[in-house]
Structure 1
Amino acid sequence: MTEEVPPTALSEIYLRLLCHDDIDTVKQLCGDWFPIEYPDSWYRDITSNKKFFSLAATYRSTIVGMIVAEIKSRTKVHKEDGDILASGFPVDTQVAYILSLGVVKEFRKHGIGSLLLESLKEHISTTSQDHCKAIYLHVLTTNNTAINFYENRDFKQHHYLPYYYSIRGVLKDGFTYVLYINGGHPPWTILYPLLAVWEGFANAKGRSIWSGASPDECPVQQVQCCVYKGRAVIETPL
């Protein structure tokens, strides 16, 4: 897409679920955003399988952004993130995992990424009600744009994951970021109350102890994509 995007583009954005007819378009977008090729089964799943929340942002009927997430039981979280929630939560407690969040280059910095993220949160509140306690994702430690985007939206760094990514044969470190909702919280530690107090103090000044930056709309950057232990992992392109 080469046309100039007006400042009011967000007012013309419509949201809809991805469907089977979108596969070719989604493939093209993923080819632009991601440095690896995904099997056809992956595209069929995210456009047809009801276990995924796959939402498209369209501008004049053209897809210009999308978010893909899965709401699942905490028991289905992979081992490296198994302690996202404190052990006291019931086994049927749910969490939401963001697989992908991307926006076409020309439409970045128009609030579309924020709109898609908020739509996921609204979907969780209407379908899972208060049973979903956390939204989480993975990101490269070097992707400062994505990190700032999420930290400015109250996501907190939960884990440092050394050698989590393998990108073109090169091992890269990652972070797990988590947004706790509906009373969800991580395992208690001796430092947790102190961090909570300091976070409140920092937020009162309009800053985050995690990023040191005032909240602001963050541009959407190109995604990095990789395979981790035989499964596809897509880093959020924000």
Structure 2
Amino acid sequence: MIRSLMTNPKISHRPTICYRSIQPSDLEMLEQIHSDVFPIRYESEFFQNVVNGRDIVSWAAVDRSRPDGQSDELIGFVTARIVLAKDSEIADFFRYDSSKEDQTLVYILTLGVVAAYRNVGIATALINEVIKYASRIPACRAVYLHVISYNNPAIDLYKKMSFKCVRRLNGFYLIDAQHYDSYLFVYYVNGSRSPCSPLELVTVVVSCMKTGLKSVAAKLMKNEEKTVKWPKCKETRGLISTQNKRMIKTECSGCEYV
């Protein structure tokens, strides 16, 4: 996949971006970008698994028109892993069928772009590669990821790309002895969706209202059928019956924080 982009003020030429798999020759640059981009340090085993494709799929972005001769050097990347849906933390956020144990998800591990090439659509293109990959797996139900709570540019990007924020995880990250919250984002594929869509929520509310009205009407009719005899020449007082109200709490929204 090749895409030409408008010139970035940080770049002295018009880049032509190509996307390919990460290769063993990318190891040094992959480690360098991770070190520059992320506050979390990854073990060497992780990088070896990425460049050798051991249980990890990956895409690299390179600039084929670089004037310095480094036309195949990484300028961006995304890494991901296929996981079983039944073993994931998001089984409650899509229509998981327990009878189909082969259902899978794609979890995005890391995503990064070097500073000079940011804000030109490379991150979006890399995520789209993951989404297309997941969509081609019939048993895959969703793509999901975590993002640290203060990374507003990333949060805005995922929302713009129709990822759904379904949970806030307190103290998910531990960086330099300090805990940071994380947001969990999900992108549904292959017809999967949240188990509580807006239409279903309306249907549930209407159904509850109808059930409540029918219950009240039945009780009123039952009370009318009863005949109560009162003593003569006595002051009568109306009997007031109270019914406990039940509150139905729904937790389904486009962005739910818990």
Q: Give the TM-score taking structure 2 as reference length.
A: 0.66
**Match of residue 83 from structure 2:** 72
**Match of residue 225 from structure 1:** none
Distance in 2 between residues matched to 1:97 and 1:166, nearest whole Å: 20
CA offset at residue 4 of structure 1?
Answer: 4.0
**Match of residue 119 from structure 1:** 129
Distance in 1 between residues matched to 2:128 and 2:198, nearest whole Å: 32
Q: Which amino acid aligns with 2:169?
A: L
SS for the counterpart of 1:158 is strand
Structure 2 residue 231 is matched with structure 1 residue 187:
no
Within 5 Å, give how 1:24-35 maps onto structure 2: 24-35=28-39
CA offset at residue 192 of structure 1?
Answer: 5.1
**Match of residue 93 from structure 2:** 84
Distance 1:48 1:84, change over 3 A: farther
CA offset at residue 91 of structure 1?
Answer: 2.0
Q: Which amino acid aligns with 1:66?
A: F
Question: Which string of whole-angstrom CA distances, capped at 9 and with x for unpartnered residues, describes residues 75-112 of structure 1?
Answer: 232xx434232343622111110111110001001110
SS for the counterpart of 2:92 is coil
Greater fraction of residues in strand: 1
SS for the counterpart of 1:68 is strand
Distance in 2 between residues matched to 1:23 and 1:139, nearest whole Å: 24
Contact 1:86 1:188 in 2 (8 A): no
Q: Give the ranges of 4+ consecutive aligned residues of structure 1 lying more than 6 Å apart after TM superposition.
A: none
Within 5 Å, give how 1:13-52 maps onto structure 2: 13-52=17-56
Contact 2:85 2:96 in 1 (8 A): no
Within 5 Å, give how 1:140-219 maps onto structure 2: 140-188=148-196, 193-194=201-202
Contact 1:164 1:173 in 2 (8 A): yes
Identity %, equivalent residues = 28
CA offset at residue 50 of structure 1?
Answer: 4.1
Contact 1:85 1:185 in 2 (8 A): yes
Q: Which has the larger radius of gyration?
A: 2
Higher relative contact order (CA 8 A, sep 6+): 1
Distance 1:158 1:107, change over 3 A: same
- Uncovered stretches (5+) of structure 2, i.e. residues with no partner: 1-8, 64-70, 204-253
Distance 1:82 1:160, change over 3 A: same
CA offset at residue 142 of structure 1?
Answer: 2.1
**Match of residue 205 from structure 1:** none
Distance 1:20 1:76, change over 3 A: farther
Distance 1:138 1:192, change over 3 A: farther
**Match of residue 240 from structure 2:** none
Q: Give the TM-score taking structure 1 as reference length.
A: 0.72
Number of residues of Structure 1 aligned to a counterpart in Structure 2: 190
Distance 1:53 1:191, change over 3 A: same
Distance in 2 between residues matched to 1:92 and 1:7, nearest whole Å: 47
Structure 2 residue 111 is matched with structure 1 residue 101:
yes
Q: Which amino acid aligns with 1:85?
A: F
SS for the counterpart of 1:110 is coil
